[in-house]
Amino acid sequence: MATITTTKISETDLLIEEYGYDDHFHEHHDDDKFQSSFITTYIFSQDHKMIAKQFLITGMFWGVMGAMMSLVFRMQLGFPEESMLWLKPVLGKWITVADGIGTLAPEFYYALVTIHGTVIVFFVLTAGLSGTFSNLLIPLQVGARDMASPLLNMLSYWFFFLAGAIMFASLFLSTGPFSGGWTAYPPLSALEQASAGSGAGMTMWTISLVFFVVSVLLGGINYVTTVLNLRTKGMTMWRLPLTIWAFFITAILGILSFPVLVSAFFLLMCDRALQTSFFLSEIFIGGQALEHVGGSPILYQHLFWFLGHPEVYIIILPAMGIVSEVLSVHARKPIFGYRAMVYSILAIAFLSFIVWAHHMFMSGVNPFISNFFVIFTLIIAVPSAVKVFNWIATLYGGNIRFNAASLFSIGFVSMFISGGLTGIFLGNSAIDIQMHDTYFVVAHFHIVMGVAAFFGMFAGVYHWFPKMYARFMNETLGRIHFWGTLIGAYAVFWPMHYLGMAGVPRRYYSFDTFENFSHFANINKFITIAAVVVFALQVLFIINFFYSIFKGKKVTSRNPWGANTLEWTTPIEAGHGNWPGKIPAVQRWAYDYGKDGKEFIPQIVPLADGEKDNGDH
Amino acid sequence: MNATIFNNGPKTQTKNKIHPQKFALWIACASIVMMFVGFTSAFVVRRAAGNWLEFDLPNLFFWNAGLIVATSLVLHFSKVAFRNGDFTKYKSLLVAGSLMGVAFVVLQYEAWMVMTNNGIYMTGNPAGSFVYVISGVHAAHVLGGLVALTAALVHAFSLKNFVTPQRIHRLDLTVTYWHFVGVLWLYLIFFLVLNS
């Protein structure tokens, strides 16, 4: 936890005063209405920094929920013979008791798997990750007083909250929450008779996600408008930190892909409520022929994955942006290949829209059409490899500070490589014939977009905690958290590759009747135990987080990491409007580390005579 | 939209002349377009799969395309009149435009009735369901525009006859959204004709 500050506080103030831009913000006195009472400060806040904290803590709540669900179904998979009677006080009727032995109800197992996926993908890694850091960092790093629309920003959080409340309530339905998988394919999602959770559970699931999309769109419109319209003087696009580039492109992806999900949900709701046949063809259920004719369930899959694939980049791009920034700051080196990093973000974002059918190789898509999707899927490896190369090159020869933030960033790179390589297997439609719907897929996406995105999020939390709460998180606990999670996460997901290659299918409740999978019982036990250990370490993180909010070591200088970006020029506890006086003007790009014999040169420091800005052409 | 929604004006030093609010409106329009891209591409894919009922669209859909274009023109001239301080013209055109907007929704409903009378129902072959859904979701967006127009009417008749940049801006946003839903209907009707 180095606290190196070569730029004195007064010097920062002088630079802002001399070169900054006076927008007469504090003469309007409209900041009072933002933080004048407990409710406007902490609940219906319109301040982007408070909204970021709301997103983060709500995301953490859902992270714990999703993780606990995974523990229950991992118990089932690792120890299918053990009694689950001890869970009866929590799960109630979903634990059936016979001869004093408690068994997890299979339909609830499927509900757990479904809700685990839904909440981790949407509530934790979309809202909790890009919601938190886009809100916190976009205004601070582009030099704006707040988001373009603080009101819409507040609504964005509260729509997310509402979505969460509805999803949470659906857990308590007597028929249980939706249980047809997080992708909600029809007919399981379209017919009430299909499963217990397909009735009220599915209705609430859909309503919850529609509110969630509203939240994402309100947030995204704000992020894009803020980045394009409210950058401070001198902040050209090529001087933006990579965090902002990542959040900006993420927001565009969300704006373009989530509405398509809404169109799919709308057609699905028509099928459910108005007896239309968009996704339902001639179908028998429970021995009864339904009147639906001529629909196509594959159509839903196309619409769903047109969102679904960009969604995985909506999750990973913010993590990539955070990692780029954190690695550069803590390696005390400029990010290697800044422009290549930006272009690779753009390339990944573009490609993400034309690869969706690689999720559908085995659902009846024409193999000749699959070829097209295979090629573009594999091309994504190119910009991804550029990014990995640049992160490693940034670290190479750096004067690296190994702290929780930088370790999680390095861990991110490790996870992204491991998970990315298995993506090359799965991107081939021929290999997918063998691998589809096995634990190989589970291992792939959990490592590359689950664990990796969590690592990016942890790196961001440890790095910007001082900006959020004016205190540090405990470094020792942070390192224990990192090493335990790194080893534990690999212990959980690495063995799943072997299960998958042996053909063990995902989503199965039990493998009792499959003699050829019985010798994997011990691997499954091992995975479950590792998952419990990893969960315990996340509890440690949460304790560290909340303890540090109140009792952490206080931040004593504005720029504790010696970073260049604008958020570290604000007061330690920045009020509404972020800067007490003028808005700082930007003179250079964000990555002048180790230049001209100086350890770092903040963006507000003017270029010396004859000095060339590395960000400009 | 009211004045407090976007309280940070554009910085003078950015060359971008567009108001952040208007820019945000365009992004919102882009996301609405993406939803209709979802519907119409689903239409194309489903139609290509066969078992598709061919039927004639009600003529009212085409008349309505003309009506919504006329509405846009009337509202545009209302905005111009307001900017020039011609309040009588501004208010009368705003009232006329709003009534035409209401008429659009009513006539879309009549068009659905025509379809139902011809035996094309919401249920049954998806060819019909798609037309109902696409025109229905579009009508919902028109209703959103009517809410904005109602707010504009309230402003027009409750505020004093005074031209301010803020009021020009608000009216501009409302009218821009109307142009958008109009163009959207032109695209949809063009699409439906092309695919039937």
pLDDT in tens, B21-53: 999 999 999 999 999 999 999 999 999 888 888
Residue with token string 């974002």: A349
CA separation for the pair B31, A257 (Å, rounded): 8
Which residues contact residue A283 at a Cβ distance below 8 angstroms, ignoring those fewer than 6 apart? A187, A191, A289, A290, A292
Q: What is the pLDDT of residues A531-566, one digit of tens each?
A: 999 999 999 999 999 999 999 999 999 999 999 999
Q: What is the model's pLDDT at position B50? A: 84
Whole-angstrom Cα distance, residue A344 to residue B80?
Answer: 45
- Counted across chains A and B, CB pairs separated by less than 8 A come out at 130
Nearest 5°: phi and psi at A20?
-65, 175
Identify the top-confidence range among A43-47, A141-145, A364-368, B125-129.
Answer: A141-145
pLDDT digits 0-9 by tens, A496-529 = 999 999 999 999 999 888 888 888 999 999 999 9
pLDDT at A512: 82
Structure tokens belonging to residue A156: 């964005």
Q: Rounded to whole angstroms, how far apart are CA atoms A124 and A119?
A: 6
User: Residue A1: pLDDT band by 50, 70, 90 thresholds?
Assistant: very low
The residue whose two tokens read 């927008």 is: A23
- The shortest C-alpha distance from B136 to chain A (Å) reads 11
Contact B31 A294 (CB under 8 A): no
Give the type of residue at B33: V
Report the candidate in A1, A3, A16 with the shortest Cα–Cα distance to residue A603.
Answer: A16
What's the CA gap between A394 and A413, in Å, rounded?
12
Q: Which domains does chain B have, with CATH numbers?
A: 20-50+58-194 (1.20.120.80)
Confidence of residue A35 (pLDDT cuts 50, 70, 90): low
* pLDDT over 90 percentage in chain A: 83
pLDDT tens for A198-213 read 999 999 999 999 999 9
Is B10 in Cβ contact with A229 (below 8 Å)? yes
Q: In chain A, what are the domain boundaries? A: 9-26+40-276+292-600
**Topology classification of domain A9-26+40-276+292-600:** Cytochrome C Oxidase; Chain A (1.20.210)
Say if CB A295 and CB B45 are below 8 A apart.
no
pLDDT of residue A481: 98
Per-residue pLDDT at A29: 52
Amino acid at B171: L
Residues A323-350 pLDDT 10s: 999 999 999 999 999 999 999 999 999 9
Nearest 5°: phi and psi at A278? Answer: -70, -45
Q: To 5 degrees, how large is the angle CA A156–CA A162–CA A168?
A: 140
CA distance A198 to A180: 7
**CB contact (8 A) between residue B35 and residue A221:** no
What ipTM was reported for this prediction? 0.89
AA letter at A195: S
Mean pLDDT of A397-409: 96
Which tokens in the block code for residue A319? 């993590």
**Facing residue for A21 by CB, picked from B13, B49, B129:** B13
pTM of the predicted model, to two decimals?
Answer: 0.93
The span from the CA of A10 to the CA of A18, in Å, is 12
Residue B26 tokens read as: 């365009």
What residue type is A364 in one-letter code? G
What is the pLDDT of chain B when averaged over all its residues?
Answer: 90
* Residues of chain A found within 8 Å of residue B14, distances taken between Cβ atoms: 229-231
- B121 φψ region: left (φ > 0), alpha (ψ -120 to 50), beta (else): beta
**Per-residue confidence (pLDDT) for residue A17, from 0 to 100:** 86
What are the residue ranges in chain B where pLDDT is below 70? 1-16
Q: Compute the distance between CA of residue A600 and CA of residue B50 in angstroms, rounded to an integer.
A: 65
Compute the mean pLDDT over every residue in chain A, rounded to the nearest whole number: 93
Residue B122 in tokens: 């919401």
- A591 and A598 in contact (C-beta within 8 Å)? no
CB contact under 8 A, A276 and B129: yes
Q: What's the rounded Cα separation, in Å, for the pair A275 and A281?
A: 12
